[in-house]
């Protein structure tokens, strides 16, 4: 399980960063695009928390994302 953060890039745009790793995983023009890009990363790494900061560095949203279920129930 890993935690990923969506943070503003000082040079413009938004970064997706894995917790405890300095370099961003990806860079995006909008915060919404960064959030969309972070979801599959969380699923692929076994799930975790997605923490989204606002332009002032305050946490505005937290989501717990589970790992991919290879055998989802039929319904």
Q: What is the mean pLDDT of each run of 10 residues along the chain (75 residues)?
A: 94 96 96 97 92 97 84 76
Q: Vertex 17, ends 14 and 18: CA angle to 5°?
A: 165
Q: Which residue has the tokens 């970064």?
A: 15
Chain centre to alpha carbon of residue 47:
11
What is the structure's pLDDT at 72? Answer: 74
């Amino acid at each position: 399980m890993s935690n990923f953060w969506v943070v503003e890039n000082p040079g413009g745009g938004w970064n997706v960063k894995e917790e405890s790793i300095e370099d961003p995983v990806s860079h995006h023009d909008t915060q919404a695009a960064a959030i969309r890009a972070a979801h599959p990363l969380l699923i692929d790494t076994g799930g975790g928390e997605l923490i989204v900061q606002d332009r002032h560095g305050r946490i505005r949203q937290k989501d717990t994302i589970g790992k991919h279920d290879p055998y989802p129930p039929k319904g």
